[in-house]
Structure 1
């Protein structure tokens, strides 16, 4: 596996992790007991910290990427392991 492939896979895991972690640890003004600004949405976060989310996403993406690369080299889970429908009829037959 090339270094550029590893970087691209890590970037995909990072974006996925960042979106996955966005709703955790965020509280609304009602939950925090703070006064809302006029025109503020009821669901607007009062304590949004993008740096903390980025750090958590970086750690989670590193773990997931390491597991993915380890599986790539070790072959723990292959396509045959997750193929729940079996081989399609006529796939790989000599007459095709």
Structure 2
């Protein structure tokens, strides 16, 4: 039972990070795109983001990851998603 819970947490952890890395570029604007040229810091990259909106991205990442994880867990427990079926769909004999 402990191994099963640990496996589920590990799968969710990896899924969460994959979704976060996919969400990072959304909504990022640099100084040139926003028109903020005043107050430039010496040595700062002009392509550096003005606002990263990390709190919003973490929230969306958590919601999207939880939805994907719940759907995959439901499909697995219902028998729609299993090792045998996936190997058959991908053309690998078991």
TM-score category by the smaller chain?
0.7 to 0.9
Deviations 1:20-45 (A, max 9, x none): 10000111111111123222213210
Q: Which sections of structure 1, spanning at least 5 residues, go unmatched?
A: 92-96
- Which structure features the higher share of helix residues? 2
Which of 1 and 2 has greater Rg? Answer: 1
Runs (4+) of structure 1 exceeding 6 A deviation are none
> 2:90 corresponds to which residue?
83
Deviations 1:36-55 (A, max 9, x none): 32222132100112211111
Q: Which sections of structure 2, spanning at least 5 residues, go unmatched?
A: none
* Normalised TM-score (structure 2): 0.77
Aligned residues: 87
How far off its partner does 1:81 sit?
4.3
